[in-house]
Amino acid sequence: MNIKKYFIPIIILLLLIQCKSEQKIDIYSSNFKEGWAGHPDSPNKKPFDYFYMKSEGRASNKAMKRKPDLMWQTTCIDQAVTKSKGELFRNLYYETIYLESACHDGEVNGPILVREILYKWRGLNVKQCKPLFEDQENFPYSGWNECECVVFVKIPGGEKTIQAEVKEVYDRFYKKTK
């Protein structure tokens, strides 16, 4: 057996694993869409008890009929946050519950689990919002016709808490249907 033949691929694999484990989480980067991270002030620091997501909004029609002003920003943020409430829990379900549990076996469906488990995680928070466009010259707030907000919910214990609750609800529901 030629050890040299396997040595370089093994070293490359170990380096890739090491690099991936030390990747920084940048909840503001354009590549980040959703996922688990640490406290909003230090998202790279464990424990990863916060589920983050980006949500886009649009200024209201009523606001956009007016000259750009603070109402553009306010209504855009309001819409992004309102829209994110349903999406955040749907994405959390898909990211954590559906992909890593038995709930997709046809016995228990997603809406039941989301309703049963996530009802207590109502504390949606907004970390940051920004306009998606630059303001036009002489029109402050005009960039706020569309915006993006980073929203999050804190779940002590993170993914492991959700997975444990999925198992509990699944077992309870499954036993009722048998």
Task: List the pLDDT tens digit at each of the 178 positions of the chain.
Answer: 554 544 444 444 444 444 344 456 777 677 777 888 999 988 999 999 998 989 999 999 999 998 889 999 999 999 999 898 878 777 776 666 555 554 444 445 555 555 555 556 667 888 899 999 999 998 899 999 999 999 998 888 888 887 777 777 667 766 665 5
- Residue at 161: amino acid letter: T
**DSSP letter, residue 47:** P
The predicted structure's pLDDT at residue 122 = 60
Contact status, residue 153 vs residue 121, Cβ threshold 8 Å: yes
Write out the residue range of the structural domain in which residue 139 sits.
25-177
104 inside domain: yes
**Predicted structure pTM score:** 0.70
The predicted structure's pLDDT at residue 171 = 74
112 Cβ partners below 8 Å, 6+ apart? 169, 173
The predicted structure's pLDDT at residue 95 = 65
Max alpha carbon distance in the chain (Å)? 76
52 inside domain: yes
135 inside domain: yes
144 inside domain: yes
19 inside domain: no
Rounded CA-CA distance 7/36 in Å is 34
The predicted structure's pLDDT at residue 109 = 52
The predicted structure's pLDDT at residue 94 = 67
17 inside domain: no
131 inside domain: yes
Report the number of distinct structural domains present in the chain.
1
The predicted structure's pLDDT at residue 162 = 76
The predicted structure's pLDDT at residue 20 = 40
The predicted structure's pLDDT at residue 13 = 43
